[in-house]
Amino acid sequence: MDRIRIKGGHELCGSVSISGSKNAVLPILASTILIDGPVLLRNVPRLKDVDCMCRILNLIGIRTNRRPNGDLEVEAFDNTGYKAPYDLVRTMRASFVMLGPLWSRRGLGEVSYPGGCVFGHRPVDLHLKGLQAIGARIDRQDGCVTLSGPVTGGTVFLGGPFGSTVLGTANVLMAATLGKGVTYIEAAAQEPEIADLCKFLTACGAKITGIGSHMLVIEGVESLHGCEWEVIPDRIEAATFLTGAVMTNSDVTITDVEPHHLLAVIDRLRAAGATLEMGDDSVRNVPTSTGHITAVDVTTLPYPGFPTDIQAQFMALMAMARGVSIITEKVYPERFMHAAELMRLGAHIRREGPSAIVEGTEQLAGAPVMASDLRASASLVLMGLVADGHTDVGRVYHIDRGYELIEKKFRGIGADIERIREG
């Protein structure tokens, strides 16, 4: 199993180009089940999760081909299969989002229930409630859920105890594009990744209004055709590098980003004392004379609030701040697995229900640590950049699921970081 080794204390300098968004491209790939004719996707990140989604598509009659320039060609050649294979689906929760498109395009859809997850209970009840409201007959057997019946359209409310559901919104809206009637999704997720999916489907002939708002209206059409599409930049990768720049007080510019998708993170980083300059498609961290970081509180919320996917990285920043900060998780109240590993590097963190109380310290020192999930591993890498000595992050496969060439990108701006290949 590979490890990433970081020697802390290096100032960074330069610019980092941000890749296409993982969480935008995964539902877009699932939506190609709905489409007749070739699709060409640009700005597709080279990630384990993207490879996994492509392998599942290949097994259900959809060809995928990476061109040497990185563009991805996708085209359905056999629309008869309706089961997403369990062995691959269980490795990636996001594949549950194939259920709606399979049912809508192929008349039947069968996907296994996603298994447990390190950040607590992650149900799919809202997905199923929404799909049922637009006509699905739901059968549950042998750990799988099967949908049948016509897609009729209808009115769906997708709000839950922790806000809306991102992939649940994607599941319902994708199924509705080929429905007979009109679907109204109230309390739809407003994440930019959902807006990107809607715009992509519109370019393929779908009729969707209210894009980017909490109310989506989808008028079913007979069929969808292919198109060329450029996936939006990954706002979470962007925010991760920006947080790293602030932690190291470095002159770093992230490029090829959509700064407006980062406003909640920029707001908190500025409150913590960072000087950030926003360009049209870039954000620059200008080093401050002291490099001091002030403790600030943060609460994760659905978009446009502060993203849960940056909570762990922000905790690493707060671990070196002056003062005490309270980090509250309102999307996944159990998503604190990284806290114990950050403490191995010297952080002072105490859990209080859905909050973590972080007391900043200057005494952070490298140690061997284990990644528990994708964003947790990113927080450990960031902490490694400022901790004294060496930090070895194990279970790097988590990071490869969602960050393209993370160590190369950090090395490109001066970090002392390497991948140690083992086994």
Nearest to 417 by CA among 4, 12, 13: 4
- Cβ proximity to ligand EPU, 109 vs 366, nearer residue: 109
- Cβ proximity to ligand EPU, 157 vs 162, nearer residue: 162
The minimum distance between CB 216 and ligand EPU, in angstroms, equals: 15
The minimum distance between CB 35 and ligand EPU, in angstroms, equals: 20
Give me the sheet containing 207-209, strands edge to edge: 154-157, 182-186, 215-219, 207-209
Q: What is the DSSP string of 31-70?
A: HGGGEES-EEEES----HHHHHHHHHHHHTTEEEEE-TTS
The minimum distance between CB 333 and ligand EPU, in angstroms, equals: 8
Concerning whether 198 is annotated as a catalytic residue, the answer is no
List the catalytic residue out of 54, 117, 198, 204: 117
Nearest to 399 by CA among 416, 376, 366: 376
The minimum distance between CB 309 and ligand EPU, in angstroms, equals: 5
The minimum distance between CB 322 and ligand EPU, in angstroms, equals: 29
Q: In 3-state terms, the chain is what percent helix, strand and coil (to 5)?
A: 35, 30, 35
- Cβ proximity to ligand EPU, 374 vs 413, nearer residue: 374
Under the rule (CB under 6 A), what is the footprint of ligand EPU?
A: 23, 26, 94, 122-127, 160, 162, 165-168, 308-309, 331-332, 374-375, 402
Answer for the pair 197, 28: CB distance below 8 angstroms, yes or no: yes
- Cβ proximity to ligand EPU, 125 vs 277, nearer residue: 125
Residue 380 to residue 6: CA distance in whole angstroms: 10
Residue 228 pairs with which residues in a beta bridge? 40
The minimum distance between CB 311 and ligand EPU, in angstroms, equals: 9
Cα angle value 339/340/342 (rounded, 5°): 65
Give me the sheet containing 109-112, strands edge to edge: 109-112, 144-148, 137-141
Give me the sheet containing 416-420, strands edge to edge: 368-370, 390-394, 3-7, 416-420
Nearest to 332 by CA among 85, 102, 117: 117
Beta strands in 166-257 (DSSP E): 182-186, 207-209, 215-219, 224-225, 228-230, 251-255
Residue 193 to residue 231: CA distance in whole angstroms: 9
- Cβ proximity to ligand EPU, 122 vs 207, nearer residue: 122
- Cβ proximity to ligand EPU, 36 vs 113, nearer residue: 113
- Cβ proximity to ligand EPU, 159 vs 414, nearer residue: 159
Residue 144 to residue 128: CA distance in whole angstroms: 12
Report how far apart, in Å, the C-alpha atoms of 143 and of each of 87, 108, 278 are: 12, 16, 48
The minimum distance between CB 318 and ligand EPU, in angstroms, equals: 19
What residues act catalytically? 117
